[in-house]
Amino acid sequence: MNMFSTRKPEPQASTPATPPPVPQSNGALEPTKSRGLLSRGVSIKGTVKFSEELVIDGEVEGTIESSGMLTIGEHATIVGDIRSKSVKVKGTVEGNIFATERCELQAGCTLQGDIEAPRLVVDENATFLGSAKVTPKS
């Protein structure tokens, strides 16, 4: 063992840092959640299932099932039914939406299908061709 070495000690491998908390609108801090992304240019045929949060900006032909939050991006095209806790539509959907908490149609989106949700928000410049069944949770 060499007590007086000129070699510098090697840095220890550190564990990856956890992401910093994200401030919420009420000022409280919430740890960041993993968020899935289906980017523009990606196309899927079949069933898409997820549990937390997913942003789709590509194309999906089939059903989407989730107990989490779904955002349909402005470049997205969905052909099929959507069943999720919360759905925010910015792109195009041809199918029915069943949300257990909330559905939001933002300006510039197009929905051809029916909506069933306890809460529905429709922006002024959204295109909605279908019917809506809004029954608040009791």
Nearest to 95 by CA among 19, 68, 124, 87: 87
Q: Per residue in 48-88, pLDDT tens? A: 999 999 999 999 999 999 999 999 999 999 999 999 999 99
Q: What is the pTM of this model?
A: 0.75
Long-range contacts of 73-79 (CB under 8 A, 24+ apart): 73/40, 74/108, 74/109, 75/40
Strand partners, 96: none
Q: Distance between CA 82 and CA 80 in Å, rounded? A: 7
Q: What is the pLDDT of residue 13?
A: 45
Q: Per residue in 5-21, pLDDT tens? A: 555 555 444 444 444 45
Q: Per residue in 85-138, pLDDT tens? A: 999 999 999 999 999 999 999 999 999 999 999 999 999 999 999 999 998 876
